Amino acid sequence: MENDAKTGMKHWTPAIILMICVVLAFFDKISIAVLFSDTTFQNAMGIGQDKAKLGWLMTSFLLAYGFSSIFLSSLGDIFSPKKMLFWSVASWGVLMIAMGFTTHYGTMLTLRVLLGLAEGPLFALAYTIVKQTYTDRQQARASTMFLLGTPIGAFLGFPITAFVLGHYDWHSTFFVMGAMTFVVLLIITFGLRNLELKRTVDLDGVGKRVNLKTHLNNSKALFTNSAFWLLCIFNIALMTYLWGLNSWVPSYLIQDKGLNLKEFGIYSSLPFIAMLIGEVIGAFLSDKLGKRAIQVSGGLLIAGIFMYVMVIATNPMTVILAMSLSAMAWGFGVSAVFALLARVTTADVGATAGGIFNGLGNFASAVAPVIIGAIVMQTGSFNIGITFLAAVAVIGSFFLIPLLKRY
């Protein structure tokens, strides 16, 4: 590979651009959660205080995203990954602008589904580009760079949306996101213009026939692997925490904990900075100590405990501190979850295991925003909805107890 000796800033540009794409995708994904607390937006959609319907705006996206991630990512193998990335990001911009003009709940729901379908293949495309652009020794760093886009997107997305909503209106939040998308399109066009990428189907050796009988035997061993299924169930709790946090905590802090929009904009970044710190520390300690199962299980357990502390706290600063410690613990645990998956499964069914693990986690946790919304509607208490989230985290952490000694 020509890139073997290249390590300069220019060589890392594609990885930086992919990180920017992930940051933008997370903006689009979570920005609507800030609108869950905006009465004008709720009235414009004709749903008033129906929190279950608000929850569906996040859940519909997540279900479509999970479907697309599993079934449409293969398009990145058939077509040029660079062109696929360009047109995928372009579609996000068009959809965000369309959402800004929408004043009908059904239309907004449909656009959220389309956005989920459009964003689903992003990680597969990013991985394909990294694999073709960087050497084996550089791929881990390049992959980590675009993965960091998720917490960065969260800690920037919430305050930016809150700022725009506080100074303008809910329509403008979508228009600003749409405008950002077209800036990113320019960055993709010029930043990747000299990058030569092949379709995956044209790469040497990709077309080799796989021994189906061997693969079926390997898969049979996977399906009878109890450690794998325990980790899959655990991952549902892990992802439920993440989507519950991203969907309802903005509304919870504003409506139940007394933060105004300006205060929320200032403090909303802190938990996601803490999550990022937790991920970095966790990744380092995971490789150093090798106690994957204890780290992953303990991280979610502590995240659930501190989320409950957030529920019973009354002082706004204590609430933000508890939420930050909860998010940091979650980041600390999640940083080792894929390393644990690799430990409990064999390499020959890595793709199958990863697909089931991701698919189950995404689909099952996608209902969390609706369940929490329904709990709040039925009980009239936001605290009970967030307590449900804390309980799922604590109970979910116990599923890894049988793995603690061995892994």
Average pLDDT over residues 188-193: 86
Residue 124 host element (H or E): helix 122-133
Largest pairwise CA distance in the chain: 62
What pLDDT is recorded for position 344? 80
Average pLDDT over residues 175-192: 91
Query: By the 8 A CB rule, do 260 and 254 touch?
Result: yes
What pLDDT is recorded for position 302? 97
Euclidean distance between the first and the last CA atom of the chain, given in angstroms as a whole number:
36
What pLDDT is recorded for position 354? 65
Average pLDDT, the chain: 81
Alpha-helical runs (H) found in 261-291: 261-267, 269-289
| 116 pLDDT above the threshold of 50 | yes
Average pLDDT over residues 376-404: 91
Tens of pLDDT along 29-60?
878 888 887 889 988 888 877 888 888 888 88
Query: By the 8 A CB rule, do 27 and 156 touch?
Result: yes
* Report for 82-86, 90-94, 377-381: range of highest mean pLDDT: 90-94
* DSSP per-residue letters across 9-52: HHHHHHHHHHHHHHHHHHHHHHHHHHHTT-HHHHHHTT-TT-HH
Would you state the structure tokens that stand for residue 387, as one six-digit string? Answer: 């307590």
**pLDDT-above-70 percentage for the chain:** 84
Q: What is the number of other CB atoms lying within 10 angstroms of the CB of residue 78?
A: 10
Q: How far apart are CA 159 and CA 27, in angstroms?
A: 10
Task: Single out the residue of 90, 89, 109, 86 nearest to residue 99, CA to CA.
Answer: 109
Residue 245 to residues 1, 278, 296, 334, Cα–Cα distance (Å): 43, 16, 18, 15
| 92 pLDDT above the threshold of 80 | yes
Domains recognised in the chain with CATH numbers: 7-208 (1.20.1250.20), 226-407 (1.20.1250.20)
Average pLDDT over residues 83-110: 92
